[in-house]
Structure 1
Amino acid sequence: MDLKDYQEKSLARLADFLRAARSEGVAEAFDAHAHPDAKTMLVPEYRNLRNKDGQELPSLRNVPYVAIRIPTGGGKTLMGAHFIRCAADNWLERDRPLVVWLVPSRTIKQQTLDAFKNRRHPYRQELDAAFGGQVSVLDGDDIEQLTQQELATRTCIVIATLAAARVENIDIRDFYAHKEALEPHFIALPKDAPLPDLELTEDGKGPRFSFANLLRLHRPLVITDEAHNATSDLSGVVYERLAPSAIIELTATPDMSTSNVLVRVSASQLFAEQMIKLPVMLEEHLDGWHVALRHALLRRQELEEIARKETDYIRPILLIQAEHKGGEATVETIYNYLTGEDGERISSEWVKIATGDQRELDGIDLFAEDCPVRIIITMEALKEGWDCSFAYVLCSVSGTKSATAIEQLLGRVLRMPYARMRTHPALNKAYAHVVSPYFGAKAVEFTDHLESMGFSRLEAAQNLPTQPPLIPDDGEHPALRVEMLRLTATKKPDLANVPAGDLRNITIKPAEEAGKFVVEVKGAIQPESVKAIAKAFTGKAKEQVQTSLEQHNERATLRQTPAQKGVRFEVPQLSIKFGERIVPVENDLLMEDGFWNPADTAGKLDSLSFNTRAQTWEIDLGEKTVTMSMVHEPETDYLFGLAGDWEESDLLIWLENKVVQNDVRQETMIEWIAQALAPLKRKGYSLGQLVRGRFIIARRLLQLLADAKLQRGNQAHKSLFSLDSIVVDPGVVFRFSDLAYPMRSPCPAPLEWSKHYYAVPGDLPYRRRDGQLAEEYRCATAIDRNPDVEVWVRNLAHPTQFRFPTATGSTYPDFIAKLKDGRIFVIEYKGDDRYTHPKNVAKRAVGELWAKKNPNGLYLMPRERDDEGRDIDQQIAHAILGN
C-alpha cells in the first residue's frame, strides 16, 4: 500500500531520530529532528518519563519516548504498523522484535486484533511485507500461547489494553500473574549471564513466570494507540514495568505538558492528501430536532443524487446521534419518526441502529453496492465499533456534553471515500446539522471538537463555515450573521478597562437564574476584553471561557482569502523540450535511463572499525567519527540454539534486502556489497562480528549509496545549464490550489496578513530561541507590505508546491509573489551563515536560470544585509525596480 507524503515523511523523521539517538543520545536527537511547536515554532526540551510524584524514572532515561501527532482520519494505526519495522531497523536492531501494542479499551483491542490477524487487511499486509510473513499476533489475555520458538523466529505483536498493566497492586492483574505455561521461557536462562531485575515468586527463590517478567527479558517496542487516553499518574510507572526498548505514542491530541511530540501532521496535510473531507458545513437549528433531522435528510438525498454522477460508487450515509433514554429524541423515537406513518415513511431497510444493545450493522458490508443502508442511528460510535467513509452527514439531536462522543462521530464523517478527491465539490465536504439554543452556540463548540481531533485553532475555524439552509426561511441569511458567543457567569465581568470600541460588541444582562449573568459577545474583541471576561470565572471554567473566546475571535476575524475567491495563482515552470512536447524538468529526466552499478562510484567500508572491548563500531565520516553501540538481540543471550547459524551468503542477502534500490539489479547489488565488505574481512573481522553489527553495516552501506547517487545527480544536473532545450514556457505552469494548503502549522505571529494567498503563511518560524524575530518571518512581512506585491504565498516543502530541480531531487523556494504588473517573483531567504553553502549556491544557480529563461520572472536570495548594505526590504524593492 503506497504511503501518502506526510506518512513517508513521518516515517523518515522517526528513522532519522532513532539513528541519531543511537550515536548522539535521545535528548540531542530529539532536539535535532523533532518538529517545532506549533505556537512557538521552536523545538521544546525533551522530557524524560516521570512517576506520579514528578520524579524521573532512571530506568527509562535512555529509552526513546516520542509521540506522533496525527489528526483523526490520518491513519494512525497503519502508521504504527510501519513504525515497527522502522524501530526494528534503526533502534532495536532486531530482525524479529517483540511488540506490545497498547489500546485504551477492549472494544478497540478486538478491532485491532481482527485487523492485524486478517492477512488481507492493509495493517497486516504491511507487517507481512516488512517481516517476510513471519508475524504472530496475540491477544494480551492469551499470553500463555507465546512460545520460545515464536519469540526467536517471528515478530510477535501482543495487543493489550492499558488497563491490563495500569494498576498499583500488581498481584491483582493477570498481566503480572505467575503462569506455569510460561515456565519454558525462564528455566533455560543461563545461570551465569547477567539478567534484568525480575519480579520474584512469593518465596523469593526464582523469577515469577509472568508476562511482565518475559517483557523484561526481551525489552519490547511499546506502541500506544490513542495515547491521549494513557495520561494518568500511573502511566510512567506502567511504561517502566513493561521494560521497553522504545515507546512510540500515536494520538491526535498529545498531552503537551508531558509528551515529546516528534512529528506533527496537520489537518491541512490530510486534506491535501485527500484523506479527509473539508470543510465541515455546519447548520445550526434553533427550532428543535425535527427541523434538524429534516434538513439532514434533505442534505443526504441531495448528495446521493450528486454521487450518481461519479465514476466510483458512493452511497452517502446520514449518521444520527440520538439522546440517551429519558431524553426527547431517543433512538426509538427517531427510528419511529423515520419509518412510521406519521413521519418520513422511509424504508426500514435504509435505517439501522448501532448501539451497545442493538448491533444491526454486524455482518453488513456498508461499501457493497447492493447494501441499502443510508441512515444509521447511534449514540456513541466507539462502542459500536463501525467505520465507513460513506458517512457524509452528521445530525446531532443529542444534548449530551460528552465531547468524546461527538468527536468520534464527527471523525466518521470526515473520512474521504477511496482517499481520493471527488469530481463534484459537494462530495469533498462533510456536513453537520445540530440542534442549537441560539445561533453560534454550536459553532464554537464544534470548533473545540475539531481542535480536540488534532486541528489547529485556525484550521478548525476555517473549516467550520455556516452552510445556507436547504429550506429557505424568513430569518437572516447565515452569511450576513455576525459571529456571536454567549456565556453564563456567576459574577458580572468588570469592563471598566476594556477598549472602548469593544463595549458595543459586549452585552451583559441578568440571566433567568437568579445571581447569574449572560454575557454576549458579537464579532471579534481585543485580548484585553478576553481577559476581563475570563476574570469573572474561576478554575477550569476560566480556562474554558478563555479558549471559547479565542476560538470565537478566530472565527470572527476570518477574511475571505484570494484562494477562497478563486483567484488563479500560476507560476511558469522550468521545463525541457522533447520535440513538440514541453514538460517540467525533474532530475530523473536528466539522468541516464537504465540500471547502474554501485561499484562504479560507491565506496567501501574501509572507514568502519570495531572496538571489541567497548562493543562499538566507529564510522569515520571525514569531519567527525561517529560511534555506534551494538544492540544485543534477545536470541543471543536467552534463546541459544533457536536463532540459527549464518553463512556469508545469508549476510549478503540480508544486507541486500536492507539497502535494495529500484535502479540496481539484485545480483549487481550483492556483488558490490561483497566488495564493500572486503576491507573489513581483510582487517580480520569474523563473520560473527559482521553479523552482530549488520544493522550498522547496512546503515553505512545506505550512506555510501546515497553519496554515489548524489555524484550521479550532480553530473546530470550540470547539463541543465548547457541544454538549449531548457525553457520557461508560459503554457507550462504550476498552479497553487485554491482548496488545499498542506501546512503543518499556521504562523503563530499575531499579525493580519493582507496579501497572503491563504489565511496565514504555513510553517513560518516567528521567533528564534533567543526571542528575536526569525529572519524568514521578517522576510515574509517585508513581502506582505511591499506596495508592488499583489498576492504572495509561503511555499511549502511538499510535492504539491512549486519546486526547482536539484542534484538530489527538488528544492522548494520559500516565497512566491505575484506583482501588480504581472511578473512572478521567487524568493529564497538564506541567512549570512548559510548563503555561501554549496547547496545554497546550487539553489541560487537554478533559480537564476529560471529567471533568465523567463522574461516575466524575478529571482532573489536575500540576506540580512547584502554586499551593498541593503536590508531585506531594500533588497526586495531593488530586485523589483531593477535599480
Structure 2
Amino acid sequence: MELKGYQEKALERLGDFLRAAQEHDVAAAFAVHAHPDPKTMLAPDYRPLRGKDGAELPSLREVPYVAIRIPTGGGKTLMGAHFIRCAAENWLDRDRPLVMWLVPSRVIKQQTLDALKNRRHPYRQELDDAFGGQVSVFDSDDIEQLTPQELANRTCVVVATMAAARVQDIDIRDFYAHKEALEPHFIALPKAEVFAELEQADGGSGPRFSFANLLRLYRPLVITDEAHNATSELSGTVYERLAPSAIIELTATPDMAASNVLVRVSASQLFAEEMIKLPVLLEEHLDGWDVALRHALLRRQELEEIAKKEADYIRPILLIQAEHRGGEATVETIYEHLTGEDGERIDKEWVKIATGDQRQLDGIDLFAEDCSVRVIITMEALKEGWDCSFAYVLCSVSGTKSATAIEQLLGRVLRMPYARTRSQPVLNKAYAHVVSPYFGAKAVEFTDHLESMGFSRLEAAQNLPMQPALIPGGDERPALMAETIRFTAGKKPDLANVPAGDLASIRIEPAVEDGKFEVVVQGAIQPESVEAIAKLFSGKTRDSVRTSLEQHNTRAQLRETPAQKGVKFEVPQLSIKFGDRVVPVENDLLVEDGFWNPADSAGTLDTLTFDTRTQTWEIDLVERAVKMKMVQEPQAEYLSGLTGDWQEADLLVWLESKVVQNDVRQETMVEWIARAIAPLKRKGYSLGQLVRGRFIIARRLLALLDEARAQRGNQAHQRLFALDEVVVDPAVVFSFSNLAYPMRSPCPAPQEWPKHYYAVPGDLPYRRRDGTPAEEYRCALAIERNPDVEVWVRNLPHPTQFRFPTATGSTYPDFIAKLKDGRIFVIEYKGDDRYDHPKNVAKRAVGELWARKYSNGIYLMPREKDDEGRDIDQQIANAIART
C-alpha cells in the first residue's frame, strides 16, 4: 500500500532520530528531531521512562522511547508495521528483529493478530516486503510455539495485551511463568553474566524459563498501540521488565506530561491527504430521538443517491447509538421503529445489530457490492475492532457519559472511502445527528470529543459546524445562535470584576430546579469572565467548565475566511518551456536523463574506523568525529550463524539491497560498493566485523550517495540561471486549496488574522524560550497590518504548498501575499544569524530569479534590521513601493 505524505514524513523522522541516537545519545537526538512545541516551534525536553515511584529507570536511559501522534483515521496500526522495518535498519541493526506488539484489550489483540497473519492484509504485506516473507506472528498465549531457530532466522511479532505484562506479582501471570517448552532458548547460555540479567527460578537454580526472560535475551522492539490506554504508574516498570531495545508508542492522544512526541500529525494533514471526511455537519434535535433518527435516515438516503454518481462503489451506512436497557430508545425499540409496521418500514436485511449479545456483523463484508447493510444499531460494541469507511452518518440517541464510546463511533464516520476525495462534495463530509436538551449543547461536547481524537481545539471547532434541522420538503427550523453555552449552578456568579463588554454576553436565569441558576453565555468572553463562571464550581467540575468555555470561545470566534468564501489565491510558478509546453520547474527536469555511476562522484569509506574493544564505529568528518555504537544484545555471543556462511559477495549483495537507487544499474552499484569498502579491508577488518557492522556501513554508503546526488543536483540547478527557457507564465499557476491547509498546529497567539487565507496561520512560532515574540511571528504581524496586503498565507513545507526548486529539492517560502493591486509578494524571513548561510543565499537567488521573470512578482528576505537600519514593517513597505 502506497503511503501518504505524512506517513512517509513520520517514517523519515523516526529514521533520522534513531540514526542520530546512535551517533549521540537519545536525549540529544530527540532535541534535534522531535516535533516542536506549537508555541515556540522548539523541541521539548526528552522525558526518560520512570518507575511507579517517579524515579528514572537507569536501565532504560539509552533506550529510545518516543510517541507517534496520529489522529483517529490516520492509519496508526499500518504505520506500526512500517516502523518495524525503520527501527530494524536504523537502530536495531538486525535483519530479523523480535517485536513485542502491545495492545490495550483482547478485542484489539485479536483484530491485530488477524490482520498480521493475513498475507493479503496491508499490515502483513508491509512486513513480508520488508523481511523477504520471513515473518512469523504469534499470540502471546501461544509462546511455547516459539523456537530458537525462528527467532534466529525470522522476524517474529508477538501480540499481547498490556495487561498481560502489567502486574506487580510476577508469579500470577502466564507472561512471567516458568515454561519447560522454552528451555531450548536457555540451555546454551553462558552461566555468568547473562544469567544475571534474568529473573531466577525458585531456589536460584538458574533462570526462569519464561517468556519475559526470553524477551530480555532478545531485546525486542516494543510497539504499543493505542498507547494512551497504557499509561499507568506501572507502565515504566513493565517496559523495564521487557528489556526493550526501543519503544515506539502509537496514539491519537499522548500523555503530554510523560510522552516524548517525536511526530505529531494533525487532523488538517489527514484531510489534506484525503484520509478523513471533514467537516462533521452536526444537527442537534430538541424534539426527541425519533425526530433525530428520521433526519439521519433521510440524510443517509440522500447520500446513497448521490453516491451512485461516483466511479467507485459506495453504500453510505448509518450508525445508530442506542440507549442502554432501561432507557427510552433501546436497541430493541429502535429496531422495531425502523422495521415495524408503524415505523419507518425499512427492509430488515438493511438493518444489523452489533452489541455484546448480538453480533450480526460477524462474517459480513460491508464493502461487498451485494451486501445490503445500510443501518447498524449499537451501544458501545463498535468502539473497538470495527472499521468501515462507508459509515457516513452517526445518530446518537443515547445519553451515555462514556466519552470513549462517542469518540470511537464518531471515528467510524470520519474515514474516507478508498482514502481519496470524492467528486461529489457532500461525500467528502461526515454527518452527526444527536438528541440534545437545547440547541448548542452538543456542539461543545462534540468539540471535546474531536480534541480527544487528536484534533487541535481550532481544528475541532472549525470542523464541527452547526446545521439547522431540515427535513426535505419541509420548513427549515430557524437556527439559534450556535455559540451559546449554559451551565446550571448553585449560586449566581460574581460579575463585579469581569470586563464591561462581557456583561451583555452573560445572562443569569432561574433554573428549573429550585434554588439554582442557569448561566447562559452567548458569544466569546474574556479570560476574567471565564474564571468568574468557573469559580461557581469546584474540583474536576471547575476544570471541565473552564475547558468547555474555552472551547465555546474558539467556536464563537470563528470567522468566514477567504478560503471558505471561495476566494482564489493563485501564484504563477517558475517554469520551463519545452517547445509549446510550459511546465513548473522541478530539479529532475534539469538533471541529465539516464543512469549514472556513483564511482564518478561518490567517495569511499576511507575515514570510517572500528574500535573492537568498544564495538564502536567512528566516521572522521572535517569538523568533528561521529561515533556510532552498535546496539548490544545479551544473546549475541551465543547465537550461531551470525556471520557463519557469509561470503564477501553476500555482503556486497546485501549492501546493494539497502542502498539501491532507481537510476543506478545494479552491477554498477555493486562495483562501486566494493570500491567504497576496500579501505576497510586494507585496514585489516575481518569479514565478520564488516558483517557485524553492515547496517552502519550501509548508512554511510547512503550518505556518500546523497552527497554525490547533491553535487549533481547543484550542477543542474545552476542551469536555471542560464536558460532562456526558464520563465514565469501567468497561465501556469499554483493554487492554494480552499479546503485543505496541512498545518501541524495552529498559531497559539491570541491574535485575530482577518487577512489570512485560512482561519489562522499554521506552524507559526509565537514566543521564544525567553517569552519574547518570535521573529517569524513579528513578520506575520507586519504582513497582516500592511495596508497594501489584501490576503496572505503562511506557506508550509508540504508538497501541497507553493515551492521553488533548489539544488537538493525544494524550498517553501514562509509567506505569500496578494496585494490589492494584484501583485504577488513572496517573503522568506531569516534571522541575522542565518541570513548569509549558503543555503539561504541560494534561496534568495532562486526567489529573486522568480521575481525577475515575473513582472507582477516581488521577492523579499527580510531580517530584524536590514543594512539601511529598516525594521520588518519598513522593509516590507519599501519592497512594495519600489517595484
TM-score range, shorter chain: over 0.9
Q: How does 1:368-767 map to 2 (within 5 A)?
A: 368-382=368-382, 385-471=385-471, 477-478=478-479, 481-632=481-632, 636-641=636-641, 644-767=644-767
Whole-Å separation in 1 of the counterparts to 2:81 and 2:196: 28
Q: Sequence identity of aligned pairs in percent? A: 82
> What is the letter of the counterpart of residue 280 of structure 2?
V
Q: TM-score, normalised by structure 1?
A: 0.98
Other-structure match for 2:11: 11
User: What secondary structure does 1:677 align onto?
Assistant: helix
User: What secondary structure does 1:149 align onto?
Assistant: helix
Shift of 1:817: 0.1
> What is the letter of the counterpart of residue 724 of structure 1?
D
> What is the letter of the counterpart of residue 441 of structure 1?
A
Q: How does 1:331-342 map to 2 (within 5 A)?
A: 331-342=331-342
> What is the letter of the counterpart of residue 844 of structure 1?
R
Shift of 1:839: 0.8
Other-structure match for 1:104: 104
Larger displacement relative to structure 2 (510-519 or 332-341): 510-519
Larger displacement relative to structure 2 (398-407 or 649-658): 649-658
Shift of 1:402: 0.4
> What is the letter of the counterpart of residue 142 of structure 1?
D
> What is the letter of the counterpart of residue 654 of structure 1?
W
**1:411-453 CA distances to partner (integer Å, 9 max, x unpaired)?**
0000000001001110000000000000110000000000000
Whole-Å separation in 2 of the counterparts to 1:846 and 1:195: 62
> What is the letter of the counterpart of residue 871 of structure 1?
D
Which structure 1 segments of 5+ residues have no match? none
Other-structure match for 2:79: 79
Other-structure match for 1:89: 89
Q: 1:385 to 1:611 in 2, by over 3 A?
A: closer
Q: In the alignment, is the contact (CA less than 8 A) between 2:356 and 2:381 conserved in 1?
A: no
**1:92-129 CA distances to partner (integer Å, 9 max, x unpaired)?**
11111111000000000000000000000000000011
Whole-Å separation in 2 of the counterparts to 1:468 and 1:313: 30
Whole-Å separation in 1 of the counterparts to 2:642 and 2:181: 19
Q: In the alignment, is the contact (CA less than 8 A) between 1:153 and 1:643 conserved in 2?
A: no
Whole-Å separation in 2 of the counterparts to 1:838 and 1:196: 54
Whole-Å separation in 1 of the counterparts to 2:391 and 2:43: 38
Q: 1:61 to 1:559 in 2, by over 3 A?
A: same
Q: In the alignment, is the contact (CA less than 8 A) between 1:381 and 1:408 conserved in 2?
A: no
Larger displacement relative to structure 2 (754-763 or 352-361): 352-361
2:847 aligned with 1:851? no
Whole-Å separation in 2 of the counterparts to 1:845 and 1:371: 59
Q: In the alignment, is the contact (CA less than 8 A) between 2:643 and 2:688 conserved in 1?
A: no
**1:323-367 CA distances to partner (integer Å, 9 max, x unpaired)?**
111111111110110011000000001111111111111111111
> What is the letter of the counterpart of residue 411 of structure 1?
G
User: What secondary structure does 1:187 align onto?
Assistant: coil
User: What secondary structure does 2:571 align onto?
Assistant: strand
Which structure 2 segments of 5+ residues have no match? none
Shift of 1:808: 0.8
Q: 1:358 to 1:482 in 2, by over 3 A?
A: closer
Whole-Å separation in 1 of the counterparts to 2:592 and 2:307: 45
2:837 aligned with 1:837? yes
Whole-Å separation in 2 of the counterparts to 1:233 and 1:611: 40
Q: How does 1:294-333 map to 2 (within 5 A)?
A: 294-333=294-333
User: What secondary structure does 1:203 align onto?
Assistant: helix
Q: TM-score, normalised by structure 2?
A: 0.98
Shift of 1:771: 1.5
User: What secondary structure does 1:727 align onto?
Assistant: strand
Other-structure match for 2:861: 861
2:26 aligned with 1:2? no
Larger displacement relative to structure 2 (114-123 or 683-692): 683-692
Q: How does 1:105-144 map to 2 (within 5 A)?
A: 105-144=105-144
Other-structure match for 1:881: 881
> What is the letter of the counterpart of residue 117 of structure 2?
K
Shift of 1:642: 7.2
Whole-Å separation in 2 of the counterparts to 1:370 and 1:387: 18
Whole-Å separation in 2 of the counterparts to 1:370 and 1:40: 53
Whole-Å separation in 2 of the counterparts to 1:588 and 1:839: 19
Other-structure match for 2:350: 350
Whole-Å separation in 2 of the counterparts to 1:522 and 1:476: 20
Shift of 1:520: 1.0
Other-structure match for 2:359: 359
Whole-Å separation in 1 of the counterparts to 2:868 and 2:355: 72
Q: In the alignment, is the contact (CA less than 8 A) between 1:862 and 1:872 conserved in 2?
A: yes
Whole-Å separation in 1 of the counterparts to 2:649 and 2:628: 25
Whole-Å separation in 2 of the counterparts to 1:681 and 1:831: 47
**1:707-764 CA distances to partner (integer Å, 9 max, x unpaired)?**
0000000000111111111111111000000000000000011100120000000001
User: What secondary structure does 1:606 align onto?
Assistant: coil
Whole-Å separation in 2 of the counterparts to 1:40 and 1:330: 49
Shift of 1:517: 2.6
Whole-Å separation in 1 of the counterparts to 2:643 and 2:448: 52
Q: In the alignment, is the contact (CA less than 8 A) between 2:40 and 2:774 conserved in 1?
A: no
Shift of 1:768: 1.2
Q: In the alignment, is the contact (CA less than 8 A) between 1:713 and 1:808 conserved in 2?
A: yes
Whole-Å separation in 2 of the counterparts to 1:644 and 1:756: 63
Q: In the alignment, is the contact (CA less than 8 A) between 2:468 and 2:476 conserved in 1?
A: no
> What is the letter of the counterpart of residue 849 of structure 2?
L
Larger displacement relative to structure 2 (185-194 or 234-243): 185-194
Q: 1:633 to 1:49 in 2, by over 3 A?
A: closer
Other-structure match for 1:785: 785
Whole-Å separation in 2 of the counterparts to 1:530 and 1:642: 65
> What is the letter of the counterpart of residue 393 of structure 1?
V
User: What secondary structure does 2:204 align onto?
Assistant: coil
Whole-Å separation in 1 of the counterparts to 2:293 and 2:143: 48
Q: In the alignment, is the contact (CA less than 8 A) between 2:66 and 2:259 conserved in 1?
A: yes
Q: In the alignment, is the contact (CA less than 8 A) between 1:747 and 1:763 conserved in 2?
A: yes
Shift of 1:516: 3.2
Whole-Å separation in 1 of the counterparts to 2:656 and 2:455: 41
Shift of 1:641: 4.4
Larger displacement relative to structure 2 (56-65 or 736-745): 56-65
Whole-Å separation in 2 of the counterparts to 1:186 and 1:801: 56
Whole-Å separation in 1 of the counterparts to 2:425 and 2:417: 13
Other-structure match for 1:48: 48
Whole-Å separation in 2 of the counterparts to 1:698 and 1:405: 47
Larger displacement relative to structure 2 (98-107 or 480-489): 480-489
Whole-Å separation in 2 of the counterparts to 1:196 and 1:789: 70
Q: In the alignment, is the contact (CA less than 8 A) between 1:831 and 1:863 conserved in 2?
A: yes
Other-structure match for 2:208: 208
Other-structure match for 2:230: 230
Other-structure match for 2:285: 285
Q: In the alignment, is the contact (CA less than 8 A) between 2:284 and 2:469 conserved in 1?
A: no
Q: In the alignment, is the contact (CA less than 8 A) between 1:196 and 1:216 conserved in 2?
A: no
Q: In the alignment, is the contact (CA less than 8 A) between 1:196 and 1:217 conserved in 2?
A: no
Whole-Å separation in 1 of the counterparts to 2:381 and 2:587: 48
Q: In the alignment, is the contact (CA less than 8 A) between 1:355 and 1:384 conserved in 2?
A: no
> What is the letter of the counterpart of residue 518 of structure 1?
E
Whole-Å separation in 1 of the counterparts to 2:846 and 2:269: 28
Whole-Å separation in 2 of the counterparts to 1:603 and 1:569: 46
Shift of 1:496: 1.1
Whole-Å separation in 1 of the counterparts to 2:415 and 2:591: 39
Larger displacement relative to structure 2 (378-387 or 854-863): 378-387
Q: In the alignment, is the contact (CA less than 8 A) between 1:352 and 1:376 conserved in 2?
A: yes
Whole-Å separation in 1 of the counterparts to 2:458 and 2:22: 37
